[in-house]
């Protein structure tokens, strides 16, 4: 299992998200509190962000080192400011390569995606069925070998197939596809996701046949006013809310929060 972080709100330097909190991603990389499996998140990390003024594609920084060992990230994180950030620290599923192509966040056009979860025995079970559902654009977007990126490709496929679909609709349809495939092949799967195209944040807490990974949200904390944070574990003491299981949370440009159940 991995640990996730998403932020949307007033522009903030990355170090205030990655380093300053008492239970930051740095701490969670070697001392997580709520992981269902694994002990540490030492198989790489990644950060993605959007320019606060320009409508450009997102920027990413990734490394296969543990986040605590990256000597460049402290300086970079003090320099970069953004109003929309996603970050992930990785605990690789057994058998999955630790290389940059498998580091999150994943990108497609202006879209960033991070995932915490798993598909049981992915290569032997749902790899081929998922690929069979993909159009050429979605299939060719896959650079690595993880279940995470293949699930993201399902979302890309849905956005390609239904151009008027919202991110929430594409995510829900993809989760329903995952549910259908997992049940038909009798495997466990989970998909805590955070998606963004720069102005909004969409997240899910989902599992089928297994326990949902932890996920929380917080809005307008005194230390982070005019902002919403989504995280696998609370970063600090505050008014954190646990996501309902089998739900999708949407954060609008006005930071309005909507939570809807996934219609299974």
pTM (2 d.p.): 0.96
Give the pLDDT score at 39. Answer: 86
2 given a catalytic annotation = yes
Hey, is 36 helix, strand or coil? coil
Identify the active-site residue in 2, 103, 113, 212. Answer: 2
Nearest to 216 by CA among 251, 244, 243: 243
Residue 208, preceding bond cis, omega within 30 degrees?
Answer: no
Helix H or strand E encompassing 111: strand 111-119
Give the pLDDT score at 54. Answer: 84
86-105: average pLDDT: 87
Class assignment of domain 3-261?
alpha beta
The contacts of residue 13 (CB under 8 Å, 6+ apart) are 77, 78, 79, 80, 81
Higher pLDDT, 43 or 111: 111
Q: What is the pLDDT of residues 219-230, one digit of tens each?
A: 999 999 999 999
Nearest to 201 by CA among 86, 55, 34: 86
DSSP β-bridge partners for residue 117:
191
Is the pLDDT score of 87 beyond 70? yes
CA separation, residue 242 to residues 3, 6, 98, 170, 197 (Å): 15, 15, 30, 23, 24
Q: What is the pLDDT of residues 17-40, one digit of tens each?
A: 999 999 999 999 999 999 987 789
Q: What is the pLDDT of residues 154-171, one digit of tens each?
A: 999 999 999 999 999 999
The contacts of residue 104 (CB under 8 Å, 6+ apart) are 2, 46, 62, 88, 90, 113, 114, 115, 148
**pLDDT confidence tier of residue 94, bands split at 50, 70 and 90:** low
**pLDDT confidence tier of residue 52, bands split at 50, 70 and 90:** confident
């Amino acid at each position: 299992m991995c640990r996730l972080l998403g932020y949307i709100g007033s522009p903030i330097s990355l170090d205030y998200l990655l380093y300053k909190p008492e239970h930051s991603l740095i701490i969670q990389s070697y001392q997580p509190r709520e992981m269902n499996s694994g002990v540490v998140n030492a198989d790489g990390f990644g950060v993605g962000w959007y320019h606060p003024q320009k409508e450009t594609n997102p920027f990413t920084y990734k490394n296969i080192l543990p986040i605590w060992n990256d000597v460049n990230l402290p300086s970079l994180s003090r320099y970069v400011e953004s109003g929309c950030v996603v970050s992930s620290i990785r605990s690789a599923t057994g058998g999955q390569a630790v290389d940059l192509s498998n580091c999150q966040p994943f990108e497609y056009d202006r879209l960033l995606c991070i995932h915490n979860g798993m598909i049981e025995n992915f290569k032997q079970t749902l790899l081929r069925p998922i690929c069979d559902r993909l159009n050429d654009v979605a299939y060719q977007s896959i650079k690595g070998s993880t279940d995470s990126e293949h699930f993201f490709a399902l979302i890309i496929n849905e956005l390609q197939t239904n151009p008027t679909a919202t991110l929430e609709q594409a995510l829900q349809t993809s989760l329903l596809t995952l549910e259908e495939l997992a049940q038909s092949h009798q495997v466990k799967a989970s998909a805590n996701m955070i998606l963004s195209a720069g102005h909004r944040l969409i997240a899910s807490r989902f599992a089928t046949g297994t326990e949902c990974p932890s996920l929380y949200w917080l809005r307008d904390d005194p230390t982070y006013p005019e902002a919403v944070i989504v995280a696998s574990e609370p970063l600090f003491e505050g008014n954190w809310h646990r996501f309902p299981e089998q739900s999708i949370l949407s954060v609008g440009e006005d930071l309005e929060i909507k939570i809807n159940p996934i219609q299974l």
